[in-house]
């Protein structure tokens, strides 16, 4: 966010992008407290019921100061809310999310990519190198969609330009 930006701790499409100076994500009682921006800005507070209805992903951008408590990370996991921290250049520092549905066919296909003919066809670029790039692309798309109100088509074009 920029210095003149006033969109601190706004939930947009189920995503909160936290990028102010010294952000804080913690649990107080049974509520998640997200503080971003100047001290006079009211924090964003969620009960577990509110978060399960309104919140899908918390994205923290930047590297200067701030904190996330272990209790907050556990609280997010228990309510099925994804959490990601990105560096200013879009590099994923940490990412977590709720368990998806069990899809054995998908797991088998993913295992074959890492050990099948694609993995051995180009030894300079193993198939496993696509995984972090794919994750970075998806998180960048979610961040752009939340921060700039882009459609999925606009977001994927924006993310391809950034990663290219």
Contact 43, 37 (CB under 8 A): no
Which uninterrupted H or E stretch holds 73? Answer: helix 70-79
Contact 57, 101 (CB under 8 A): no
Which uninterrupted H or E stretch holds 74? Answer: helix 70-79
CA distance 49 to 52: 5
| Secondary-structure class of domain 1-100 per CATH | alpha beta
**Mean of pLDDT values over 57-66:** 83
Tell me the three state secondary structure of residue 63: coil
Is it the case that residue 163 has pLDDT exceeding 80? no
Extents of the domains making up the chain: 1-100, 101-164
**Mean of pLDDT values over 99-107:** 77
pTM, entire model: 0.59
**Mean of pLDDT values over 15-25:** 84
Tell me the three state secondary structure of residue 6: coil
In angstroms, the first-to-last Cα distance of the chain is: 23
């Amino acid at each position: 966010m920029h210095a003149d930006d006033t969109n601190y701790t706004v939930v947009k499409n189920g995503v909160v992008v936290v990028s102010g100076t010294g952000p804080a994500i913690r649990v107080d009682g049974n509520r998640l407290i997200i503080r971003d921006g100047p001290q006079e800005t009211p924090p964003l507070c969620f009960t577990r019921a509110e978060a399960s209805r309104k919140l899908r992903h918390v994205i923290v951008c930047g590297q200067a100061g701030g904190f996330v408590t272990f209790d907050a990370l556990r609280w997010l996991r228990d309510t099925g809310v994804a959490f990601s921290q990105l560096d200013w250049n879009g590099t994923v520092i940490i990412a977590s999310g709720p368990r998806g549905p069990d899809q054995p066919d998908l797991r088998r296909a993913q295992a074959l990519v890492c050990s099948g003919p694609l993995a051995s066809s180009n030894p300079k670029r193993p198939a496993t190198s696509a995984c972090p790039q794919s994750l970075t692309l998806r998180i960048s798309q979610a961040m752009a969609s939340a921060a700039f109100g882009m459609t999925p088509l606009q977001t994927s074009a924006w993310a391809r330009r950034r990663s290219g």
